[in-house]
Structure 1
């Protein structure tokens, strides 16, 4: 029996409007101070908007406790404010027969609680990844969703007349194994969404995949890995490999340089119908190897061949549906509160402050 007054006092404290005001003020002041700390310490907080809060805290945040202590404190205060709001809602719900006229305010309470729970859920169990480079036809496994894959089926950058890029059209398919779950053209402000997953266009680029080469007596053809040419006199020329920047080492070996276009090189294989085959490297800056010129192949590089790729941002928020529910509850509560405001004012209905 002695516990009943203690429980009643604790319940009144948790439902107190004074407690809500104190917690809300503390969270606000802490957030203002924290935002100034973030501004002057980009090395610690610079990646905060590119990863979920839980992952950031386990890496950069926990490594600088003197600068980031306000983050867990703010999370604790928000959790207490969420508990306070939930208790207020439950206290109203058990007395709804007499306090139904305040339904609008308490729908806002419920929506706020749901949004906060969704935020904490997404911060701990969500996934955010930027800079995912995909070529057309390439498939990417999603680490946050085992067995799910993202495939780029088509990509087209859109340019203005002055050459400035204005949009990126990426046809993206979401797969579970071999089963298609969703397909959409992803563009600016039009992501692919599926449950808590959202795929946004980030940027795009292009990489050199080969060269257009003119062969005397044959014409212009494309040199890229996998290409195979049937030439006069039964010769067959295969392109085995391509390096956008290569350097020749001692002993004639060829090694990869940078990823940019510098000194391009092809690894080729020439098959004779009745003789031995030749395999070696053709560095464009050095001219065709003697094995090609002796076979009568006069090669002249024309221009590089580029392959475009799309850079996608992938976010997975398991609390997205809950946050949407909370937002709709808050919207309904605001509309209901506006409708009933003048009626309650006429009755002298005011909140109780403990």
Structure 2
């Protein structure tokens, strides 16, 4: 009886709710999915479920209270099931490539990625990915997904969450009036000279910090390519060439370098979610709302019984 009294006490319920609230706040700050799957966090949910179950049994004759406690118990059961059996991961996949998922035996292939922008603006209006789900080496489902329009396969949801550019396939250069297209690391000889030009680094949004060049975003706000110029095997000089500022930083007289274009490698950010407790969670919400409605708006019937005594005469 002591154990039952302890599990059904209001003090335990209040303490568990406070601990759970603080744990959720810490989890939000840490922003770690593994935090909510930890043994102690699931233990709090289980203990709170036992507390509600005992309260539910003690008040089973009250329909409103019955449904409220049952609804909370079902919601917590859905949360525990989602924590133990569900998963969430983010996958970045390039066009034409296949990415494997860590938590299940599925793979996704990105056929193409499309960005729609507002007129006269670089702001994206919509972005879409043409995905194929691969299971056991077979393509089982193909669909175009976009924001708020996910692909669903066997309880696994694939959301369009982000996008970006993962380097460049090629750069287009003009050197002394001669056009050339190639990959980073490839080189070409300038006609009628012994000089060889090699593009070695590309930045979409060039900026400097402490003398070190880096890209502050994945948007092509300030595209730049770093060139190395060799005379035979000797590095003669290196310099950055800017697409929007072609005359800036030109070191050598008689040498004209232009970055005339580039082909980026886009990737699509896919959020993969499986939550087997989601349906149970919504069932619990319905029970909870029904219990609250009955408790507030239900008709309470009170029967009064009068005791009559009969005196012997």
Give the distance between the partners of 2:98 and 2:180, measured in 1 at CA: 29
Cα deviation, residue 35, structure 1: 6.7
Q: Flag the 1:128–1:85 CA change in 2: closer, same or farther, 3 A.
A: same
Matches within 5 A, 1:63-212: 72=40, 76-89=43-56, 99=61, 102=63, 104-130=64-90, 132-146=91-105, 148-160=106-118, 161-177=120-136, 178-181=138-141, 183-187=143-147, 189-206=148-165, 207-212=167-172
Number of corresponding residues: 251
Give the distance between the partners of 1:191 and 1:320, measured in 2 at CA: 16
Question: Which residue is equivalent to 2:271?
Answer: 313
Q: Flag the 1:222–1:158 CA change in 2: closer, same or farther, 3 A.
A: same
Cα deviation, residue 135, structure 1: 1.6
Q: Flag the 1:179–1:108 CA change in 2: closer, same or farther, 3 A.
A: farther
Cα deviation, residue 13, structure 1: 5.7
| Ranges in structure 2 where 5+ consecutive residues have no aligned partner | 185-197, 203-212, 216-223, 229-236, 241-256, 304-313
Give the distance between the partners of 1:138 and 1:328, measured in 2 at CA: 43
Give the distance between the partners of 1:138 and 1:259, measured in 2 at CA: 26
Cα deviation, residue 170, structure 1: 2.2
Contact 1:244 1:259 in 2 (8 A): no
Q: Flag the 1:173–1:110 CA change in 2: closer, same or farther, 3 A.
A: farther
Give the distance between the partners of 1:88 and 1:173, measured in 2 at CA: 49
Contact 1:196 1:320 in 2 (8 A): no
| Ranges in structure 1 where 5+ consecutive residues have no aligned partner | 1-5, 39-44, 59-71, 94-98, 226-240, 246-257, 266-282, 287-298, 349-354
Q: Tell me the secondary structure at the aligned position of residue 225 of structure 2.
A: coil
Give the distance between the partners of 2:70 and 2:286, measured in 1 at CA: 10
Cα deviation, residue 48, structure 1: 3.6
Cα deviation, residue 144, structure 1: 0.9
Question: Which residue is equivalent to 2:19?
Answer: 30
Q: Does 1:263 align with 2:234?
A: no
Question: Which residue is equivalent to 2:189?
Answer: none
Q: Flag the 1:330–1:170 CA change in 2: closer, same or farther, 3 A.
A: farther
Give the distance between the partners of 1:31 and 1:88, measured in 2 at CA: 19
Give the distance between the partners of 1:46 and 1:333, measured in 2 at CA: 30
CA RMSD of aligned residues (A): 4.5
Structure 2 length as normaliser, TM-score?
0.60
Q: Flag the 1:116–1:31 CA change in 2: closer, same or farther, 3 A.
A: closer
Q: Tell me the secondary structure at the aligned position of residue 347 of structure 1.
A: coil
* 1:246-285 residue CA offsets vs partner (Å, 9 max, x unmatched): xxxxxxxxxxxx99763268xxxxxxxxxxxxxxxxx997
Cα deviation, residue 315, structure 1: 2.6
Cα deviation, residue 88, structure 1: 4.2
Question: Which residue is equivalent to 1:341?
Answer: 297
Cα deviation, residue 25, structure 1: 1.7
Contact 1:196 1:319 in 2 (8 A): no
Question: Which residue is equivalent to 1:324?
Answer: 282
Q: Tell me the secondary structure at the aligned position of residue 263 of structure 1.
A: strand
Contact 1:115 1:327 in 2 (8 A): yes
Alignment match of 1:52 (pick from 34, 37, 44): 34
Q: Tell me the secondary structure at the aligned position of residue 326 of structure 1.
A: helix
Contact 2:199 2:225 in 1 (8 A): no
Whichever structure has more strand as a proportion of its residues is 2
Q: Flag the 1:180–1:108 CA change in 2: closer, same or farther, 3 A.
A: farther
